[in-house]
Amino acid sequence: MVEINNLRLDVNDIDKEIIRLLIKRKTISDAIISIKKKQCLSVYDKTRELEIITSLKNQFEGEINPHLIEKVLREILFYSKSDFYKLDSIITGDLDSVLEKMPFLIAGPCTIESETQLRDIAGHLNQNGIRLLRGGAFKPRTSPYSFQGLEDEGLKMMKSIAEMYNMFVVTEFTDSRQLEELYEFADIIQIGSRNMFSYGFLKQIGKKTALDRKPVLLKRSFNSTINEFLLSAEYIINAGNPNVILCLRGIRTFEQIDSMMRNTPDLASILELREHTDLKIVFDPSHACGDAKFVVPTAEAALKLGADGLIVETHNAPHDAITDGKQSIEPRELERLINYININY
């Protein structure tokens, strides 16, 4: 027994030393991150991370299981970046607590169409305890001849309906005029998939939201890699706002040549993003699948894979919806999803 106790004391000392070293390592990596930020370099450096892991695996070959090295190092690297890729909870109190609820649900129509439409949908959502209302006032349409949204008036209307139901507005801005003139009407600013690469706009948004740290929901471009997606988030973070919510919404692959899916749901990317970031990860099954019948099961899969939240297009009369009716679910269907969440989370 004395022998075991002595050995345990040695182990305790080693554990303490490991923690001390981790703290030391974090201080150094914080210094590196702050230099990188000054020099506008990316915080997440995939090549460097791989180099670190591979070189250690080589150095200790035969002495320790290489998978263990990889696992431990991934955790350490995650910890190093954790202060950078993290929501800062000085967002307005109430919204903060809504986003802390796991998982959180953002629902509403693709487009704001009319006061009756929005009142009806918001009423249903409110009855189901949903606090985050989505709706587009400025629609980035492929054709300039398609309906472009109810614009300023639509957004103002949405804000007043949301306030009536004690809900928050999640809406897309597509240009800096909207960002300046309509800022107070959005509680969470959505950046659409098509604008993920609009670096100038991302910087403007980061600067504009730096003071109040209004959350920015950044949608992944359907043509982007995970690395590019994270770097776009860094544009906003580096401009002053750490409150970026990452939204996966499906990507384009060969599947779109003849598949029923509008996009390929990038579900497993939830796992990969989780390796790198503490930022909230939201999944959008509506745009990922493009068909209402696939929305709920895909949403459930996203939650199983660890998504923090969902954004789901919901419409009172999907067949009559001006945009994205095919992929919009009815409030009844959304209740199925809510039941699933209530039972499982």
List contacts with ligand PEP (CB under 6 A).
110, 136, 140, 172, 192-193, 219, 249, 287
| CA nearest to 313, candidates 104, 127, 135, 128 | 135
Is 324 one of the binding residues for Mn ion (CB under 5 A)? yes
CB distance 188 to 215 below 8 Å: yes
Stretch of 33-41, 151-159, 301-309, 316-324 contacting Mn ion, by CB under 5 A: 316-324
CB distance 257 to 227 below 8 Å: no
Stretch of 97-105, 191-199, 320-328, 329-337 contacting Mn ion, by CB under 5 A: 320-328
Q: In whole angstroms, how close is the CB of 254 to ligand PEP at the nearest point?
A: 20
- The option from ligand PEP, Mn ion, none interacting with 249 (CB < 5 to 8 A, set by class) reads ligand PEP
Is 217 one of the binding residues for Mn ion (CB under 5 A)? no
- The option from Mn ion, ligand PEP, none interacting with 193 (CB < 5 to 8 A, set by class) reads ligand PEP
Q: In whole angstroms, how close is the CB of 217 to ligand PEP at the nearest point?
A: 9
Residue with CB nearest ligand PEP?
A: 192
Q: In whole angstroms, how close is the CB of 35 to ligand PEP at the nearest point?
A: 34
Which of 91, 107, 110, 202 touches Mn ion (CB under 5 A)? 110
Q: For ligand PEP, which is the closer residue by CB, 43 or 155? A: 155
Q: In whole angstroms, how close is the CB of 228 to ligand PEP at the nearest point?
A: 15
- The option from ligand PEP, Mn ion, none interacting with 135 (CB < 5 to 8 A, set by class) reads none
If DSSP states are collapsed to H, E and C, what string results for the chain? CHHHHHHHHHHHHHHHHHHHHHHHHHHHHHHHHHHHHHCCCCCCCHHHHHHHHHHHHHHCCCCCCHHHHHHHHHHHHHHHHCCCCCCCCCCCHHHHHHHHCCCEEEEECCECCCHHHHHHHHHHHHHCCCCEEECECCCCCCCCCCCCCCHHHHHHHHHHHHHHCCCEEEEECCCHHHHHHCHHHCCEEEECHHHCCCHHHHHHHHHHCCCCCCCEEEECCCCCCHHHHHHHHHHHHHCCCCCEEEEECCECCHHHHCCCCCCECCCCHHHHHHHHCCCCEEECHHHHHCCHHHHHHHHHHHHHCCCCEEEEEECCCHHHCCCCHHHCECHHHHHHHHHHHHHHC
Stretch of 13-21, 66-74, 108-116, 182-190 contacting Mn ion, by CB under 5 A: 108-116
Q: For ligand PEP, which is the closer residue by CB, 77 or 245? A: 245
Q: In whole angstroms, how close is the CB of 287 to ligand PEP at the nearest point?
A: 5
User: Backbone phi, then psi, for 244, in 5-degree steps?
Assistant: -100, 135
- The option from ligand PEP, Mn ion, none interacting with 219 (CB < 5 to 8 A, set by class) reads ligand PEP
Q: For ligand PEP, which is the closer residue by CB, 69 or 110? A: 110
Q: For ligand PEP, which is the closer residue by CB, 55 or 223? A: 223
In angstroms, rounded to a whole number, what is the distance separating the alpha carbons of residues 219 and 284? 9
Find all residues with CB under 8 Å of 180, minimum gap 6, and list them.
Answer: 208
- The option from ligand PEP, Mn ion, none interacting with 216 (CB < 5 to 8 A, set by class) reads none
In angstroms, rounded to a whole number, what is the distance separating the alpha carbons of residues 138 and 161? 18
Stretch of 48-56, 104-112, 180-188, 205-213 contacting Mn ion, by CB under 5 A: 104-112
Q: In whole angstroms, how close is the CB of 284 to ligand PEP at the nearest point?
A: 6
Q: For ligand PEP, which is the closer residue by CB, 172 or 187? A: 172
Q: For Mn ion, which is the closer residue by CB, 232 or 263? A: 263
Q: For ligand PEP, which is the closer residue by CB, 99 or 170? A: 170
Question: Rule CB under 5 A: which residues touch Mn ion?
Answer: 110, 324
